[in-house]
Each structure stands twice: as C-alpha cells, then as structure tokens.
Amino acid sequence: MQEGQAIVLIALLILVLFGMLGLAIDSGRGYVDRRDQQTAVDAAALAAGDWWENYQDLNGVVIPNSVALYESDLRLYNGPAGAPTHTSRLVGPQNNLPEDTYTYTWNAGYTLVIVATDTQFNGYQFKFTTNHQLPLAFIQIFGGSRTVGIGATATSIVGNQRQTPALLTLSTETCATNLSGSAQLTVLGDVYTNGTACLDNNLHEAGNCYGAAGSNCNVAQYYCYNSDPGFVPYPPTPTCNLGDITGQAVVPAPTLPDPGYLAPSVGYYTTAQGYSQSNRGTWTEMYPGQYGNFHLSGGSASCAFLNGGVYNWTNGYTSDANGSLLSNELKAPDEELSSAPATASMANPQFWDQNGTGCAGHFNVANGPAQTILLLPTCTKLSPQTPSPCHSGVTDTLLRNNRWGVELTSVRYDRFLDSSITPNPCYNSPGCRRESAPSSCKLTPNTVVGANASPSNIGITVNITQNAPGAQYYNVYLNPYGCDGNPNHFGWVGRYDAPGFSGGTPIGPFPNGANWALGAAAPAIPPAAGASIYDVADTMIYNPATQCYAQARSIGCAAPDDETDPQCFSNCPPPNNLLSQENAPMSLQYPPYTGGDVANENYCQVSPNPGNPIAPCENTTVTPGAVQFYFPNGSCMDQNSQGATYVFAGEQYNWIVIYAPASNTCDNTLNGGASTQYIGTIYTPGQNWTINGGNRSPLAGQVICYTAKVTGSGAVGIDFNPNYSPAPPAARLIN
C-alpha cells in the first residue's frame, strides 16, 4: 500500500518538476529574446542618429537603413509583411516640431514602431520600440498562453545642444565667471562655470546658471527664452509666452571638461602678409596668412576687407582706431533699406560707413549712347491684354515714361585652401561664388525714342562712383516697372567687372568719387546689337522674375533675398541710425526655396538637395569667405570700442572665430561698440577675457575660456546661436 502511494507522489512531483523545467526554459528563451531585441533597437537607434547626421534624408536613408540593421540583428531575412504605415504630425509646446511615426510588422511575430522627432535645438530624436510574440514551448501544456509579448525600447538623440552653454569658464577658481553691469548685460543661453559664479542683479539671464558650490546664481534676473536661433530674450510679465521658459540656478553643478577643439586649417595659411600691401583706393584688401604686430591706431578713416582664410596674428591683434573697420562681410553699393526693399530708400548707416569710415560703395545710372552698358531695345507687347512695357516712345501705359529700375549686387569668389576638409567645393580656383543682397533701386532717366528706332540707339550706363569693399564683379538686375517696391520684379541681365578689376583680378586704377562705367561683361553672356545687356527677345525682362538656383544666374533670375532689420537683442528696439542691417537667414538654395543669404555668415556651400528647411546648412562643409583669427602662444588681443571688427567664422572652422591653444594664457579685452561683432565661437581655454561694450551683442555664438569678466556699459550681450557654434555631440543613446 505504501509503495502505491509513493508512485502517486512521484508522479505528482514529476509534473511539478516538468512545470518548473518548462518555466525555466520558457523564461530563459524570453530573456534571450528580450536581450536580442534590446541589442537590435540599440544598434538601430544609434545607426539612425548617425545616418541623420550624415545625410538628413529621413525617408530615403535614415529609416530604411536603420530598419535593415534591426532585421539583420534579429535574423529576419524575409522582410516585413506588407508596406509599413507612416504618419506625420506636429508636436511640441508650440505645435511646431515635426514628428514621423513608422510601424513595421513581420510574419515571425515581430513589430517595430519608430518615432522620429525633430526637436530643433535639442536635436533629432529617434525612439525604437520593438515587440515579439514569443511562442511558449512548455507553459501552454499546462493551460497557459501560447505566446507571450517580449519587448524593448531604445531612444537616441543627435545634434543635441542642451549642454552647449553661451559662456563656459573652465577655471575652478573663485569668481571664475564674474558678471556685472552698470547698465544692462543680457546672455541668451546657459552660463556655466567650473568655479564659482559671482553675479549681480544687472545680469539678464535667458537660460540656466550653473556653478560650483558658493555661486550666487540666484541673484540674476531670469528672462524668457526658447531654442529658436535669433530669439530675443524678454522678462516674464509675470509668466512667459506659451512655449517659452525661464531658466534657474543649478548650484552646485558638475564640472564640464574642455572640449579640446582643434584648429587644423592654420597650417595651410603660412604666407607672411602686410596690412597695406593691397590698396584698392578707398579700402584695403587683406589676404589670410601670418601678420606680425598688427595694430590699427588713429589717423584717417580706413577699411579692410578680409578675404576668406585663417589670419595668424603672430604678435597680437590691437584695434583701437576711430574710423576703422575690418570685416569679411560682402555688401552691395548703396544698400537698400530693409523695411523698404526694391525702392530708392537706402540703409542708414550703410554697413561699410559704420564707425565713421565712409567706405561704402555707391553707383548711379544715366542714359548712354549705343553699344554702352545696357541696351533696352524697342519691344513688342507680350499679349494684347498686357500693358506695354515697351521703350518705343509711342505708348507707355505703365505711366513711368519708360524709366526702368536698376539694382546691383556685389559678387566675388573665395577659395578655402585646406585640402584635408572633404568635400571642399571652394578649394579649386576661382573658388566659391558669393553674391550680396541687392542695392537700393536707381531709376533711369527718360529713355523715350522714336517708334522705328534701331535697337542699338538706346542704352543705359551704370556708373560706379566708389567700389563696394570686396566686390570683384557687379550683377545687374532690371525692373521694367521702375522702383515699384516689388523685389520679384527685378530680373538678372548680366555680370560685369567692377571698375579696376578684370576677371576678378585687381588691375587698377580704382574709382573714387568719379563716374566709372562698369567693366566688361562676363564672357558667357552674349551681346546683342553691340550692347552688353539686352531686353531678351525684344520683350521685357521676365516678370515676375524666375526663382533660380542661388549659386547660378541666367537671364530673368530674381535677385537674392533682401537684408533684414538691425539686430534687436539687449536693447529693443535698436537705436536709430546706429546699427547696420542683418543678412537674410539661412535657406535652401534651390527652387522653390529662395537661397537666403548667399554671401556671408548664413551662406553654406552647398545646401543639400533634398535638405531640411529647418536646418538648411546641416551636413555642409564650407562657409565661403569665412575667417578664423588664430593666436599662437604669447599673442594677445585688445579690441577697443573705438576700433571696429565685424567678422564671421564658418563650417570649415567648426564655427570657431577666435582660437588660441590652451598654452596661451593671455589676458584679453573685447570692448565691442556698435560696429563690432564676432559671429562664431571664441575658444581660448587658457585665456582670461574681459568683455565690455554695447549697442549690439558683440558675440553671436559662444565663449569658452579660462576665466571671464563681463561688464555692461550700455547694452552688452552674449547671444548664443546654434547656427554659429561648434557641431554638437554625435548620436548617443538616452534611453
């Protein structure tokens, strides 16, 4: 009897043992399955970030390649079951962040959901969520489910600039960051110090303040901010607008390491140069290379146009001269007024007239004899319904007495000589083309001729009375409706040598206060009836003008984008007649996009096609015409507010406009007046800076140094702009 009971007990125990064995096996299989899925989504999410950083093509490259990696890791060789679903929407506090969701399924029971969100300043975020219905081997024998859901998730981010402060001081000393202001000091972005921050309540901080224990970050006035480039900080009244936030004190904060940026291009610019070697009449052309003991002191007004490249100030840089201006900004003669484009209104001040220099370019137009600069022949109506734009002298229903509007743009070509940067579209001669925003409009004199006049009997002469600094050529745009205030009515008709230049090469003499007709037409533009520019096919210039690829011109192309209003940052609105106008923002360069700024800091070569309209210059390598100031050991900088330096860095220098190695321990001064601005990052990890000055933010980028003392005398500011800062970290997992 006892033996029979033992057999029953053993049988029951065997069932329990089998159940435990089945649970162990199925649990182990589930663990392995989850581990495999976690590895797959980790790899796919990181790959998505890397693909985005390199190609910015979400649907064509990023998603397909990351999904293929996920399939490979999980050995899913037959592809998804059917086409994936894809939805798009806008999210975020202001409903302005694009978010795309992709859902894939496989017959093997796998599901993958990808959510890609462009958080702009905070980077592109990729969230991969996977799920697998794992068939159970043993548990179902005991009445359990046939399958169990096993899942994993991973999130990566790329291009995140949340830990990129406007001001970073690397010293761990007391008062490593010392911010005070007798008037108004505004910082857009985080202030971060590895030592203590010593502040007062005149600091307007639009961001967070990070410091070691003992920092008095709590005394700052915290302003409203968001991540949009060009955002203007403002005080909460009593709260911020929807989508904007105020910063806070973060004390104590962990230290941030020196990012260790490099300046690899300095070795490609070793030629010894001199300041006055290239006089162009009313301005000096400076070439990159090595300059010893560079000092702009008092005397007559002087302007220097900086050709693109690295300027190695081997024995320091001092600018303290009233009436001086150094810049690599390319501007049109007689710049138009940003609030009244395509009219006769001119900007005040002209960029190259700042600081009392009087170096801005000027031009006028006049009637010319046959075979002069512009030919406007007799023409026919485009259609019976179209008002006649003809220059026949018989009828002119536009009521402008046959007077055309004329705009000019300054054009030049700049090379970048660092062959290690790839691709480098600006390496080979003649370099990359730059074209300024348009000039103001000049109305031609009366140009009435007889109805049967020969096409060669009428012309318009464009006279340059003073060359615009940096201009090698001028593009001419005509508007048959005169100076009517419509920028889209101006069509391109030709490119001409600037007076004193031939094919972009200076030959002299240069205009200065006299009528100098434009030089020869570009060889690629065919003449008609002996004239250099003509009304194509005896009809008016295309109207409206055609939106063309921004880096090339053909007959009828619309002029580049207009300039924008002067910078409003720490003093809004900006003082009248004190600040120069700003360049158009970045834009993709092919139709239907307008190209934006195609001459200065917001211009990249070449914007990708297709690209990201929110970040048009992602994945580009060169900003044509950009400069970098390099300070070797023992070389210091003294920028006085009486002198003016307005320069921009670029993609090829990782947006570092002032660079000094860590072994350079100079004490530098930056007193920025209305005409001074450094667009880019100041990276001098061993140097101490005293920053002062007013009227505009003298720093439109970032400052990384050993210690910083910033004082305000007027309206000084540091304006962190992610467009002009070093590339943020590569893709990394955040979940």
Residue from 615, 669, 621 nearest 158 by CA:
615
Which of 506, 538, 570 is the last residue before a domain boundary?
Answer: 538
Report yes or no on 5 lying in a domain: no
What is the average pLDDT across 463-481? 91
Do 71 and 49 belong to one domain?
yes
Report yes or no on 621 lying in a domain: no
Do 110 and 203 belong to one domain?
no
The pLDDT tens digits of the residues spanning 605-619 come to: 988 888 888 888 878
Share above pLDDT 90 across residues of the chain, in percent, rounded to a whole number: 45
Q: pLDDT-derived band of residue 692, with 50, 70 and 90 as boundaries? A: confident
Determine which helix (DSSP H) or strand (DSSP E) holds 95, and give its type and residue range. Answer: none
Do 198 and 143 belong to one domain?
no
Report yes or no on 427 lying in a domain: no
CB of 315 within 8 A of CB of 344? no
- The Cα–Cα gap between 206 and 607 comes to 31
Share above pLDDT 70 across residues of the chain, in percent, rounded to a whole number: 80
**Residue 160: is its pLDDT beyond 80?**
no
Do 280 and 337 belong to one domain?
no
Report yes or no on 431 lying in a domain: no
**pLDDT of amino acid 572:** 75
**Residue 268: is its pLDDT beyond 80?**
yes
The pLDDT tens digits of the residues spanning 119-151 come to: 765 678 999 999 999 877 655 655 567 778 899
The pLDDT tens digits of the residues spanning 303-331 come to: 999 999 999 999 999 887 777 899 999 99
Q: pLDDT-derived band of residue 165, with 50, 70 and 90 as boundaries? A: confident
The pLDDT tens digits of the residues spanning 208-237 come to: 899 999 999 999 899 998 877 778 889 998
**pLDDT of amino acid 169:** 95
- The Cα–Cα gap between 660 and 33 comes to 52
Report yes or no on 630 lying in a domain: yes
What is the average pLDDT across 717-733? 81
Q: pLDDT-derived band of residue 385, with 50, 70 and 90 as boundaries? A: very low
CB under 8 Å, gap of 24 or more: what pairs does 252-260 form?
A: 252/211, 252/212, 252/213, 252/215, 253/192, 253/210, 253/211, 253/212, 255/172, 255/194, 255/212, 256/163, 256/165, 256/168, 256/170, 256/192, 256/194, 258/170, 258/662, 258/685, 258/704, 259/683, 259/704, 259/726
Do 173 and 296 belong to one domain?
yes
Most confident range (mean pLDDT) of 7-16, 140-149, 488-497, 595-604 is 595-604
Which of 507, 538, 569 is the last residue before a domain boundary?
Answer: 538
Do 150 and 171 belong to one domain?
no
Report yes or no on 575 lying in a domain: no
Report yes or no on 429 lying in a domain: no
Record the tokens describing residue 627, joined without a space: 């400069």
479 vs 418, higher pLDDT: 418
The pLDDT tens digits of the residues spanning 23-73 come to: 666 677 788 889 999 999 999 999 999 888 777 789 999 999 999 999 999
**pLDDT of amino acid 609:** 87
Do 136 and 192 belong to one domain?
no
Do 53 and 190 belong to one domain?
no
| Residue-range definition of the domain harbouring residue 636 | 167-326+626-726
Taking the whole predicted model, whether its pTM rises above 0.85 is answered as no
**pLDDT of amino acid 141:** 59
Report yes or no on 368 lying in a domain: yes
Do 379 and 518 belong to one domain?
yes
Do 207 and 319 belong to one domain?
yes
Do 87 and 180 belong to one domain?
no
Is residue 48 classed exposed, middle or buried when 0-12, 13-18 and 19+ CB atoms within 10 A define those classes?
A: buried
For the chain, what is the domain count? 3
